[in-house]
A and B are shown apart, each in its own frame.
Chain A
Amino acid sequence: MIPEIGHAALILAFCFAVIQALIPLAGAQLGKTRWIHLASPVARGQLFFIGIAYCCLTYSFLVNDFSVRYVASTSNTQLPLIYKISGVWGAHEGSLLLWAFLLSAWTVVVSIFSSSIPKIMLARVISVMGMVSVGFISFMLFTSNPFIRLFPAPVDGRSLNPLLQDFGLAIHPPMLYMGYVGFSVAFAFAIAAMIDGKLDSAWARWVRPWTNIAWVFMTLGIALGSWWAYYELGWGGWWFWDPVENASLMPWLVGTALIHSLAVTEKRAAFKSWTVLLAIFSFSLSLLGTFLVRSGVLTSVHAFATDPARGVFILVFLVIVVGGSLVLFAWRATALRSVGQFSIVSRETGLLFNNVILVTMAGTVLLGTLYPLVLDALGVGKISVGPPYFNQVMLYLAVPLYTLMGLGLFLRWKKDSVSRLQSKVVIPFAMALMAGILLPLLLAPEQSGLTFIGLISASWVALAALLWLINSTQSPFKLPASTWGAVIAHIGMAVTVTGITLTSVYSHEKDVALAPDESYQVGDYDFKLISVKEIRRDNYIAYQGVVEASENGQHLVLMYPEKRTYNQSSMPMTEAAIDAGLFRDLFVALGEPLGEGSWSLRIYHKPFVRWIWLGALLMALGGLLAAMDKRYRRFKGNKEARS
Chain B
Amino acid sequence: MSPRQKKRLVLVVLLLVGLSAATALALKAFNENMMFFFSPTEIKAGKAPSGQDIRLGGLVVEGSVRREVGNLTVLFDLTDNNDVITVSYNGILPDLFREGQGIIARGQLNETGGVTAVEVLAKHDENYMPPEVSDALAASEGEQS
Q: Are B22 and A396 in contact (CB under 8 A)?
A: yes
Contacting A382 at CB < 8 Å: which of B22, B36, B91, B128?
Answer: B36
Q: Are B19 and A386 in contact (CB under 8 A)?
A: no
- Chain B hits for A383, CB < 8 A: 34-37
- Chain B hits for A341, CB < 8 A: 4
CA of A511 to CA of B91, assembled, Å:
6
A352 on interface, CB distance cutoff 8 Å: yes
Residue of B nearest to A359 (CB): B19
Q: Are B18 and A382 in contact (CB under 8 A)?
A: no
Q: Are A388 and B33 in contact (CB under 8 A)?
A: yes
Known: A161-B124, A353-B18, A396-B25. A600 touches B92 (CB 8 A): yes
Q: Tell me the residues in window 377-395 of chain A with beta carbons closer than 8 Å to chain B beta carbons.
A: 381-386, 388-389, 392-393
Contact with B along A342-355 (1 / 0, CB 8 A): 01100001001100
Q: Are A572 and B30 in contact (CB under 8 A)?
A: no
Q: Are A385 and B19 in contact (CB under 8 A)?
A: no
Contacting A393 at CB < 8 Å: which of B4, B11, B29, B37?
Answer: B29
Q: Are A571 and B67 in contact (CB under 8 A)?
A: no
- Chain A hits for B134, CB < 8 A: 300
Contact with A along B12-24 (1 / 0, CB 8 A): 0001001100100
Q: Are A382 and B37 in contact (CB under 8 A)?
A: yes
Known: A299-B131, A302-B131, A356-B18. A511 touches B36 (CB 8 A): no
Interface size on A, residues (CB 8 A): 50
- Chain B hits for A344, CB < 8 A: 7, 10-11
Residue of A nearest to B134 (CB): A300
Q: Are B67 and A594 in contact (CB under 8 A)?
A: yes
CA of A393 to CA of B7, assembled, Å:
30
Known: A511-B72, A511-B91, A573-B95. A389 touches B7 (CB 8 A): no
Q: Are B29 and A384 in contact (CB under 8 A)?
A: no
Q: Are B37 and A392 in contact (CB under 8 A)?
A: no
Residue of A nearest to B28 (CB): A392
Contact with A along B71-109 (1 / 0, CB 8 A): 110000000000000000011110110000000001000
Q: Are B70 and A384 in contact (CB under 8 A)?
A: no
A203 to chain B, nearest CB (A): 25
Known: A161-B125, A356-B19, A393-B25. A513 touches B95 (CB 8 A): no
Known: A392-B33, A396-B25. A384 touches B55 (CB 8 A): yes
Known: A353-B18, A397-B22, A571-B96. A386 touches B33 (CB 8 A): yes
Residue of A nearest to B128 (CB): A299
CA of A318 to CA of B131, assembled, Å:
25
- Chain A hits for B128, CB < 8 A: 299
**Central interface residue in A385, A569, A573, by most chain B CB within 10 Å:** A385
Interface size on B, residues (CB 8 A): 39
B143 on interface, CB distance cutoff 8 Å: no
- Chain B hits for A400, CB < 8 A: 18
A332 on interface, CB distance cutoff 8 Å: no
- Chain B hits for A513, CB < 8 A: 70-72
B123 to chain A, nearest CB (A): 8
Residue of B nearest to A349 (CB): B11
A342 to chain B, nearest CB (A): 8
A5 on interface, CB distance cutoff 8 Å: no
A367 on interface, CB distance cutoff 8 Å: yes
- Chain A hits for B95, CB < 8 A: 234, 571-574
CA of A395 to CA of B141, assembled, Å:
44
A551 on interface, CB distance cutoff 8 Å: no
Q: Are B131 and A389 in contact (CB under 8 A)?
A: no
B144 to chain A, nearest CB (A): 21
Q: Are A385 and B92 in contact (CB under 8 A)?
A: no
- Chain A hits for B22, CB < 8 A: 357, 360, 364, 396-397
B126 on interface, CB distance cutoff 8 Å: yes
Contacting B11 at CB < 8 Å: which of A163, A300, A352, A384?
Answer: A352
Residue of B nearest to A301 (CB): B131
Known: A353-B18, A356-B15, A511-B72. A385 touches B34 (CB 8 A): yes
Contacting A385 at CB < 8 Å: which of B4, B35, B96?
Answer: B35
B78 to chain A, nearest CB (A): 16
A330 on interface, CB distance cutoff 8 Å: no
- Chain B hits for A381, CB < 8 A: 36-37
- Chain A hits for B7, CB < 8 A: 343-344
- Chain A hits for B91, CB < 8 A: 511
Contact with A along B119-143 (1 / 0, CB 8 A): 0000011101001101100000000
B13 to chain A, nearest CB (A): 11
Contacting A360 at CB < 8 Å: which of B10, B19, B30, B35?
Answer: B19
B54 to chain A, nearest CB (A): 10
Contact with B along A107-125 (1 / 0, CB 8 A): 0000000000000000000
- Chain A hits for B53, CB < 8 A: 386
B91 to chain A, nearest CB (A): 4
- Chain B hits for A300, CB < 8 A: 131, 134
Q: Are A393 and B131 in contact (CB under 8 A)?
A: no
Additional A-B contact list (9), CB under 8 Å, known A371-B30, A384-B35, A397-B22: A299-B131, A360-B22, A368-B30, A388-B29, A389-B32, A511-B72, A571-B96, A589-B92, A600-B92
| Subset of 25 A-B contacts with CB under 8 Å | A300-B134, A301-B131, A302-B131, A341-B4, A344-B10, A349-B11, A352-B15, A353-B15, A356-B15, A356-B19, A367-B30, A381-B36, A382-B135, A383-B35, A385-B30, A385-B33, A388-B32, A396-B22, A400-B18, A511-B72, A570-B126, A571-B124, A573-B95, A591-B92, A600-B72
The 4 closest A-B pairs by CB, nearest first: A591-B92, A382-B37, A300-B131, A389-B33
* Interface residues of A, Cβ cutoff 8 Å to B: 161, 163, 233-234, 299-302, 341, 343-344, 349, 352-353, 356-357, 360, 363-364, 367-368, 371, 381-386, 388-389, 392-393, 396-397, 400, 511-513, 569-574, 589, 591-592, 594, 600, 602
